[in-house]
Amino acid sequence: MKRYAQVFQGTAFTSKSPKEVDCLREHLFCINEEGIIERVVAPEAADYQAILDDYRDEPNFQRLTQGQFILPGFIDLHVHAPQWAQAGTALDVPLYDWLHTHTFPLESKFSDLEFAQEVYDDLVSALLANGTTTALYFATVHKESSLLLARICASKGQRGLVGKVVMDDPEQNPEYYRDADTRTALEDTEQFIIEVKRLAESVKQGVYPVVTPRFIPSCTDEALKGLGELAAKHDTHIQSHCSESDWAHGYVQERLGKHDAFALHDFGLLREKSVMAHCNFLDEADAALFAETGTAISHCPISNAYFANSVIPIARWLDKGVDIGLGSDISGGFSPSLFDNARQAVISSRMLEDGVNPALPAKQRGVPASRILINEAFYLATAGGGESLSLPIGRLAEGFAWDAQMIDTALPGGKLPIFDANEDLHDIFQKIMYLSRPEHIREVWVQGEKVHSRA
């Protein structure tokens, strides 16, 4: 019989489509040396019992106990790593002020590698403890501390996609926090790409360089064009912000005479591996361009409630076939948990559908057909994130990485309200999605390696 590196037996949940969750009762998950799910075996399968008999007494076999369930690890498509140091604060000012009075002064401190080490180390551990197995990070303009973040992801076992941020326009960025000039911004970015690729050669779960113009307002045309060329030359991921707020959306329209989506496309920044944060003010043509180029939306529902002046019609763009995942947007969003963000995604969509101003008649209050359900929010946090990054992650299926989190619903002192041993599995799934706290996440794996344990 084939030798697997690990075999797990238990009940798991994974997305079949944006609207459908597969409840895999008492399946076997057979993981190979590379940390890939080689087989998912249902109890009805002919060799289920044979595999079980072969492995049940082996040290590499793990049977989940009563009340334990497996979910795919979460994929956070938008994290500003340095802003972890201000999470939960400064949420009462508009985006422009938030950047200039709080965020840029904080980010400028990451020239100090010791400070960067302290914050990044803590953040990566916190995200793993929240079940986030892959994260797409903005670091800062500093090449060295951005590299440090990639190294910390590598050593803690998280799949990190990391960008050295480019903000080179002297008109738009403070002197204390920007690239020295456009040429330096591009040279540092290319050097960063090369060094992260070198680092990746010895990292099992992968670590990836990401071309990262902060957003159009902070970059010169020359830098944006140069970054598009670098991404094509080195075949990297790209991330930025797109049409986030009234101010940001209006600024680009005024400067370039078009929406962010078309401007980014003209600079070569929309491609299969591109992920754009927020995207609240996309119109139909922008969304069609996203679908056509394979560009993904990183939906950041908590952050959007504070800074985006609107609720993005996520159901509409899902229907259009745009790739969409979920982002915490630390620290525009205060929570490092994609459970929290999945809940907010559902809540915001309900408020968009019904509307929020009780002074208006019901028929004029909202936008019909805007709601998403928790199944779709779960999809965004897992499979949708994987598709957005064009990586085989986010599903518990053959050929995907064993990136997983084990939820214990029977935790002493934190039991979820499950009173029937035969409760419908989809009800249990919903309880997990709505009620889990970090303490329920008992074990987390990335690429087959255990990276977090509360046991």
Q: Cα separation of 14 and 385, whole Å?
A: 13
Question: Which pair of structure tokens corresponds to residue 369?
Answer: 């057909």
Specify the DSSP element, H or E, that contains 68. strand 68-72
Q: Cα separation of 301 and 346, whole Å?
A: 9
Q: Which is nearer to Zn ion, 332 or 386 (CB)?
A: 332
Minimal distance in Å, beta carbon 80 to Zn ion?
Answer: 5
Residue with tokens 């915001």: 348
Site string for Zn ion, 246-285 (x = CB under 5 A): -------------------------------x--------
Q: Which is nearer to Zn ion, 209 or 327 (CB)?
A: 327
- By the 8 A CB rule, do 193 and 236 touch? yes
Minimal distance in Å, beta carbon 278 to Zn ion?
Answer: 7
Q: Which is nearer to Zn ion, 18 or 160 (CB)?
A: 160
3-state DSSP assignment of residue 60: coil
3-state DSSP assignment of residue 172: coil
Phi, psi of 118 (to 5 degrees): -65, -45
Minimal distance in Å, beta carbon 227 to Zn ion?
Answer: 17
Q: For the segment 293-352, give every residue that binds Zn ion (CB under 5 A).
A: 329
Say how far residue 16 (Cα) sits from the centre of its chain.
Answer: 19
- Angle at the Cα of 323 (from 319 to 327), degrees rounded to 5? 115
| Residue spans of alpha helices (H) in 201-324 | 221-234, 246-256, 260-266, 284-293, 301-307, 314-319
Minimal distance in Å, beta carbon 277 to Zn ion?
Answer: 5
Q: Which is nearer to Zn ion, 331 or 370 (CB)?
A: 331
Which residues face 404 on adjacent strands? 72, 445
Specify the DSSP element, H or E, that contains 132. strand 132-138
3-state DSSP assignment of residue 311: coil
- By the 8 A CB rule, do 123 and 143 touch? no
Q: Which is nearer to Zn ion, 6 or 103 (CB)?
A: 103
Which residues face 116 on adjacent strands? none
Minimal distance in Å, beta carbon 183 to Zn ion?
Answer: 26
Q: Which is nearer to Zn ion, 188 or 329 (CB)?
A: 329
Minimal distance in Å, beta carbon 77 to Zn ion?
Answer: 10
Specify the DSSP element, H or E, that contains 297. strand 296-299
Minimal distance in Å, beta carbon 168 to Zn ion?
Answer: 18
Phi, psi of 191 (to 5 degrees): -60, -40
Q: Which is nearer to Zn ion, 277 or 416 (CB)?
A: 277
Binding residue count for Zn ion, defined by CB under 5 A: 2
Minimal distance in Å, beta carbon 354 to Zn ion?
Answer: 28
Q: Which is nearer to Zn ion, 195 or 329 (CB)?
A: 329
Phi, psi of 100 (to 5 degrees): -85, -30
Q: Cα separation of 127 and 162, whole Å?
A: 15
Minimal distance in Å, beta carbon 298 to Zn ion?
Answer: 8
Residue type present at position 439:
E
Which residues face 401 on adjacent strands? 36
Q: Which is nearer to Zn ion, 169 or 329 (CB)?
A: 329
Residues sharing a CB contact under 8 Å with residue 18, sequence separation 6 or more, in sequence order: 318, 375, 376, 379, 384
Residue with tokens 């990335």: 446
Q: Which is nearer to Zn ion, 116 or 242 (CB)?
A: 242
Q: Which is nearer to Zn ion, 143 or 241 (CB)?
A: 241
Residue type present at position 244:
E
Pick from 273, 237, 207, 205: which is nearest to 36 by CA?
A: 205
Minimal distance in Å, beta carbon 215 to Zn ion?
Answer: 8
Minimal distance in Å, beta carbon 110 to Zn ion?
Answer: 16
Q: Which residues bind Zn ion (CB under 5 A)?
A: 277, 329
